[in-house]
Chains A and B, each alone.
Chain A
Amino acid sequence: MNEMTKPVPATRPEDWASDQEVRWCPGCGDYAILKAVQRTMPELGARPETTVFISGIGCSSRFPYYMETYGFHTIHGRAPAIATGVKLANPELDVWIVTGDGDGLSIGGNHMLHLLRRNLDCQVLLFNNEIYGLTKGQYSPTSRVGTRSPSTPWGSVERPVFPCEFALGAGARFIARVIDTAQKQMPDVLKRAYRHKGTSFVEIYQNCVVYNDGVFEDFTDKRNAANTQIWLEHGKPMLFANGTKGLAVNRETLRMEVVDTSDGDLSRVTVHDETNKAIAKMLVSMRFPEFPVALGVIFCDPRPNFGEALERQKTEHTQGLVADLDALLRKGPSWEVRPQDAGPA
């Protein structure tokens, strides 16, 4: 890693684009996300050679091929487990996990749970399109009840999992949410995720033009976005609809409610405290259209991360110990047979 200490020229977005032809469907939301990530990387001060993108299987998991960094396109659902080995083996690497709703919350749900609980220092970009794209359109664990698909011709009957709610329940210390087309806001969210030391969980609503086109349109349509989205800012009152509406915690019902602020009275509006888990719980439980969709950094309350905790413990317990392997081999009940004791073997 000595090379890292030498002054290196700043990178440009194009330095982060690999020479591989991008193979997503025309119009796929993945393009916008790729572009935003490539655009943000120089601003993070990150280096391509110390950056690793790790993915599972699915459309989103092709992402690493298009980044001019180290990349590992692994197997279905297992990116968090592979990433754990990578980061523990070399803590100096910046590890990004790219996954989807099926990869990250169905086949890989167990790994996601434990990644978040352990708080490995890495970024998770979960592209949620509420459908299985690469296998041609089956309903996914985030699909809404009634989703018609080749495997649910009469509509799905399962209740979906809500990624941010899942992450919060799993013990995530950083949770954010964005929309693929939110090119203005996405870099800021990515920067916050990158700077957070621990697992940064970012759900990205991503439109699948072929199998689930327009599924998020009700709240992503820019013409009505002011009324359907609330962009959170730490320490600021939670307002939307151009300041005419706000979110307030009802102290009696302990529920979030939408209040009218058109008269300019913000006294009832709750100020966003991203370190407050109770508020985070309410924000991730809000369902559209009863509520606007909460976007931006929903929760950020750092705790020691997995690698750091392991390292600290290792330092504590191995201090002063000499790693003498020959002595280790001889440890325990032992005896010496001298040549004069020995007969023919």
Chain B
Amino acid sequence: MATLAQAPAGDASGQPGLDPHADHVVVRFAGDSGDGMQLTGGQFTISTALAGNDLATFPDFPAEIRAPQGTLFGVSAFQIHFGSSRIDTAGDQPDVLVAMNPAALKVNLKDLRVGGMIIADSGEFGERNLKKAGYETNPLEDGSLAKYQLLAFDISRQTLEAVKEFGLGNKDALRCKNMWTLGLALWMFGRPRKPVIDWLTRKFGPNALLRDANIAALNAGHAYGETAELSGPLKQFRVAPAAVEPGFYRTVTGAEALSLGLVAGAKLAGLPLFFGGYPITPASSLLHALARLKEYDVTTFQAEDEIAAICAAIGASYAGSLGVTSSSGPGIALKTEAMGLAVMTELPLVIVNSQRGGPSTGLPTKTEQSDLYQAVYGRNGDTPMPVIAARSPSDCFEVAIEACRLALMFMTPVMLLTDGYIANAAEPWRVPKVEDFPPIPVRFHTEVPAEGHINPYARDPETLRRIWIRPGTPGLTHRIGGIEKSYATGNIDYSPENHQKMTDTRKAKVDGIARYIPAQRVELGEETGDLAVVGWGSTFGPIRQAVARCRARGIRVSHIHLRHLWPLPANLGALLAGFRRVLVPEMNTGQLKTLLRDQYLVDARPFSKVSGQPFRIAEIEAAIEGMLAH
């Protein structure tokens, strides 16, 4: 496949330039955190999706809301990879880097493909900004960017001119720069401006001045492209639409898909959804999304802390709703004791963990998948709890429904793992119908025993699920709690044989879930071979692409990607035994690797990355080759 940077170029750089007929392109918008790069990227994404390309995005922003202007640590970036064929990742290397200031150039240049294009706002490359970014000389002028196609022009001045007629102050006028840049990008890739104009009209609403100024900037950027093409190196690219399954599509982020999936899960079960949350990056977006869906029988509760958030959700489940709580690693740690209570009282509960870089506060806005131990093992006592993980933004929808299903079918808390990358990244989603999913059967116990008291721990002999009694039901008053209860009566019981029996029962119930989840299939490749690359969560895209590339070179490698992490699918051990070697790429120091070794005595080897950045395809490719080289 042709990529932007592989075609020879005729320009002065002497490097391979950009191919106007490339079938996939990676563009990175980078600027100050106040430059609106995430908005620019988000709008470019929508236009790209509407043009029919497959795509994946990677928003990468600092933890600081408004870091000091022009600094390296204040750089915010948004990367989009789009193409006319299947796109699994946000791309290893940008083909085009839009740098709104020297700091953005400095931070992002190392990732740019040699021969790639730099679009820089020369108006921001003054002495002060250069110094802040640590440049001694101006890179736009000193020849240091000769390996790339450099397009430097004064975006700031162009924007000021474009919006002059609106009489905005200098600061407000310059805030339209991102729309100018977006206009240019839309022109470069032949995208219509209308969706952006519609969005600006909605966004600014009654503020006609800002709306019109932004639209004027957008149009000016677009017009600049048209004019410059006639005279300069700026060329338009045509990336043909991707061939995809027919259907109705939309773009969706992980947080959006998760909120929709939780609402769908509750609806399939016929239950009200109660969501208890506490603000934390990058999990808050789920709270925000659900707060706007109250007409779908959703209650959201912003609690005083993480503990109250999960406890309120447990209380709601006790009262007959489907309780859900969500957080990121540090907040999940705070919820741990309450998870034990939910296990002990056997109440349904979904706990969403949008993982971020740890330990402690760690890297709040960067991605990692280092909470697997915490999810599977991280509680006091023998406290088994199912754990599942989403692989991509759109996958969050189905995984959320699956979490609801397991929680209700087995009367258990379920941990759903996603991560900062999935939560914020967007991709096209072929929208399913809710009726495509089987209903989740829920039954509240109402029968009053002929004599004696109800045993709230009476179980279904197959699934070992306990009965669910809603307070308010006559004749079934009972007490539950965190203290060990009698298997036979539900009353407090500390006796040795009872604790053994209840511990064994809780374990058997969760282990037994393996009988009710799909057999593990191989994502790509044969069911036996030289190497199985086993992944989970957001590493799906890079692993799949890396395995595909290696297979194209004749390597006998297969990709296995786990949704169910605890319990593991019943056939996984046998499946792994069919491979000579097992490689586990993870954005942690080897947590799934440990789990697989423990469960199957298999010599799984870790391939670890904890830089806060997703894997690149090339990194995994190299690891596969390295593994098979000896």
A→B interface (CB under 8 Å): 1, 3, 18-20, 48-50, 52, 54, 57, 64-65, 68-75, 78, 80-90, 92-93, 110-111, 113-114, 310, 314, 317-318, 321-323, 325-326, 328-339, 341-345
Contact = CB atoms under 8 A, between A and B. Distances in A.
Interface string B284-303: 00000000011111010101
Contact of A328 (B296, B303, B307, B311): B296
B249 A337 contact: yes
Nearest to B45: A333
Contacts of B299: 88-89, 310
Contacts of B248: 330, 334-337
Contacts of A88: 274, 299, 301, 312, 316
Interface stretch (B109-117, B365-373, B479-487): B479-487
A72 B323 contact: no
B472 A92 contact: yes
B76 interface: no
Given A50-B472, A73-B480, A73-B483, A330 B303 contact: no
Interface in B195-250: 195, 241, 243-250
Contact of B431 (A64, A82, A330): A330
A286 B295 CA distance: 49
A321 B475 CA distance: 38
A342 B431 contact: no
28 contacts: A64-B481, A71-B478, A73-B480, A73-B481, A74-B481, A81-B309, A84-B303, A85-B274, A85-B301, A85-B317, A85-B318, A85-B323, A86-B319, A86-B471, A87-B319, A88-B312, A89-B315, A90-B319, A111-B307, A113-B304, A114-B303, A323-B297, A329-B260, A333-B195, A333-B250, A335-B50, A337-B52, A338-B246
A323 B295 contact: yes
Given A111-B308, A336-B248, A345-B245, 8 more contacts: A82-B311, A84-B311, A89-B315, A317-B294, A323-B297, A329-B260, A329-B432, A336-B249
Interface centre among A88, A314, A330, A345 (most CB of B within 10 A): A88
Given A335-B50, A342-B243, A18 B431 contact: no
A20 B478 CA distance: 11
Contacts of A71: 477-481
A89 B293 CA distance: 16
B312 A74 contact: no
Contact of B50 (A83, A322, A333): A333
B453 interface: yes
A93 B471 contact: yes
Interface string B364-382: 0000000000000000000
Interface of B: 46, 49-50, 52, 86, 195, 241, 243-252, 260, 263-264, 267, 272, 274, 276, 293-297, 299, 301, 303-305, 307-309, 311-321, 323, 337-338, 340-341, 345, 431-434, 453, 470-483, 491-492
B542 to A, nearest CB: 21
A110 B480 contact: no
Given A81-B303, A85-B301, A65 B319 contact: no
Contact of B315 (A85, A114, A330, A342): A85
Contacts of B474: 3, 49
Residue among A71, A331, A337 with max Cβ neighbours from chain B (10 Å): A337
Contacts of A81: 303-304, 307-309, 311-312, 315
B375 to A, nearest CB: 20
Nearest to B345: A72
A333 B48 CA distance: 11
Contacts of A318: 294-295
A70 B478 contact: yes
A18 B313 CA distance: 27
Nearest to A77: B307
A50 B320 CA distance: 13
A74 B294 CA distance: 28
Mostly, the A contact residues are: mixed
A80 B276 CA distance: 14
Q: Most chain-B Cβ atoms within 10 A of its Cβ — which of A57, A110, A323?
A: A323
A325 B52 contact: no
B326 to A, nearest CB: 15
Contacts of B434: 325-326, 329
Given A71-B479, A110-B304, A333-B251, A345 B320 contact: no
Contacts of A20: 479, 491-492
B406 to A, nearest CB: 20
Contacts of B52: 335, 337, 341
Nearest to A66: B479
B132 to A, nearest CB: 36
Nearest to A50: B472
Contact of A333 (B49, B312, B433): B49
A193 to B, nearest CB: 20
Contact of A86 (B251, B308, B315, B480): B315
Given A113-B304, A114-B308, A333-B195, A86 B316 contact: yes
Nearest to A342: B246
A-B pairs with lowest CB-CB distance, top 6: A85-B315, A73-B481, A343-B243, A81-B311, A85-B312, A71-B479
Contacts of A111: 304, 307-308, 311
Contacts of B305: 110
A328 B337 contact: no
A281 to B, nearest CB: 24
A3 B474 CA distance: 8
A192 to B, nearest CB: 24
B482 A73 contact: yes
Nearest to A3: B474
Contacts of B479: 18, 20, 64-65, 70-73
Contact of A332 (B244, B250, B263): B250
B49 A335 contact: yes
B133 to A, nearest CB: 35
Contacts of B491: 20
B246 A341 contact: yes
A337 to B, nearest CB: 5
Contacts of B320: 89-90
Which of A52, A69, A72, A332 has the most chain B CB atoms closer than 10 A to its own CB? A72
Nearest to B42: A333
Given A50-B472, A73-B479, A323-B296, A84 B246 contact: no
A286 B345 CA distance: 43
A325 B263 contact: yes
A48 B477 contact: yes
A231 to B, nearest CB: 34
A117 to B, nearest CB: 9
Contacts of B246: 337-339, 341-342
